[in-house]
Structure 1
């Protein structure tokens, strides 16, 4: 179900970008919501024309995680306003116990602090006539401290107000 939804969102993003005839405007900063396997807030700020810093504050397993990313953006010349990007960074946070416990934990799990590294690859689209940005990405992570190693299920759609 999640895969079908993400494919539909991706198709909508491409369709919107193909209908757009004008030259895409760039943005310096975008602030908004991120929805996917985990949900939260996102802030992206460009430090150069093709490089951005992104901060994500999101929830997962009844906890809170802060992620910082450095991203390189590349234009897709055939589609105005659409860029693809890649990058990496790190995260720190905590996962709390609960009932039921997370599916990967045993029944005695009491929560933990996690620290790890992240990668990211995705598409970023800025509407020409509106201060709106959509971003669809895949963000795998590897927890170095606690929390079970590799997490490869993080796909998300972000919608941001840009200025």
Structure 2
């Protein structure tokens, strides 16, 4: 399997590769691993800390070029997440004093912009990732947004 999955000349010239790792900073702090599975679709794994608990999200994303801005794409997609807060350490906002472990499981939606810095391996993305939980805290988390600085290889 070739390292570069893109066969179109325009995308190959922009320096696209099939795997990216990054640091995620916003309403949460964490990391990201993205792998393109086709020319326009990717699977992204996010691991991040919020309210002193850990969350993992696995997302499928579809990317589309913004022709007016070279190196810029927008994407949208969805997936699932799981979060864990342990007693005496976690501070989930839906409990006043954590006396037990809490978990959250649900579905996610994601939309964002991703920019490649002039044919380099460096990317910057901004996304909004609302989620709906089915366990422990049933409801909508609408405020998850972050910048992610990524390196492709």
TM-score range, shorter chain: 0.7 to 0.9
TM-score (norm 2): 0.84
Q: 1:130 to 1:66 in 2, by over 3 A?
A: same
Q: 1:114 aligns with which of 96, 104, 116?
A: 104
SS at match of 1:137: strand
Give, in whole Å, the separation in 1 of the partners of 2:29 and 2:89: 20
Deviation readout 1:107-155 (Å, 9 max, x if unpaired): 3553301111000000011123421011100000111111241100101
Listed as ranges, the gaps of 5+ residues in structure 1 are 1-22
TM-score (norm 1): 0.80
User: Quick check: 2:129–2:145 contact (8 Å CA) kept in 1?
Assistant: yes
RMSD of equivalent CA atoms = 1.8
Q: Are 1:47 and 2:48 matched, yes or no?
A: no
Q: How many residues align?
A: 141
Name whichever structure is richer in helix by fraction. 1
Within 5 A, what are the aligned runs for 1:61-76? 61-76=51-66
Within 5 A, what are the aligned runs for 1:6-85? 24-85=14-75
Structure 2 match to 1:162? 152
Listed as ranges, the gaps of 5+ residues in structure 2 are 1-12
TM-superposed CA distance for 1:100, in Å, is 8.9
Structure 2 match to 1:12? none
